[in-house]
Structure 1
Amino acid sequence: MNFTVYVTLTGEITSTITGTLATAELNKEASESVIAGTYDDELYWINPSNSTAELKEDYTIDALPIPCTARIEDIEYSITSQPTFEFDSPGDYEIEIDAGPAYLRKVFNVS
């Protein structure tokens, strides 16, 4: 049987273990929990309030989940309100957004 290991406080999936529940419990960290089944960490997170797997939420560049972190040209920006992205030089820019385990990690290309 397969088990998904996740960070108990945040619901972030860290690994999948094949074996018995006892094997999974022995191989997890103290700050982690285990649920039965296999869940892709890019698509799912574990809701810590009820220990169930849920699809990560999608969003657009115009409606980012707040708070989040934006990475532009290897610099991280903490976002606490809906931003407007403006650049000094014309060109194409890649904006990577990380809003935590409940949301998809996405990359937007802005011109």
Structure 2
Amino acid sequence: MQFGAAPPARRAARGRTASPRVPRGRTRRFNFRAEAAALCAAPEAAEDKMPLGSRLYAVFFRRTSTFALTIVLGAVLFERAFDQAADAFYARLNRGKLWKHIKHNYEIQEK
């Protein structure tokens, strides 16, 4: 027996076991040209079938830089919208009591 060689039983077993993904007699080579042609033929068809969550992940959260930018812009936009909504709610609750509503009663009109 040679140094570093597998025992005969192992060698025979290794030769007989096939990968479950590759049928016997076929090679494991990947055909990049065929795959690229299939992807280039209908890229919009593949995107249409992509669920909304996967599309959001691919666009906004896949890379760290876009993830950070999404968080910062989301926080700024949320703060602005929340502030305007709170101001509108406060003005609606206090209608007729705020200075902008009663200012015309106290202004002197010049002629």
TM range (shorter): under 0.3
Higher strand share goes to which structure? 1
Q: So what's the TM-score if we normalise by structure 1?
A: 0.22
- Pick the structure with greater CA Rg: 2
Higher helix share goes to which structure? 2
Task: Give the TM-score taking structure 2 as reference length.
Answer: 0.22
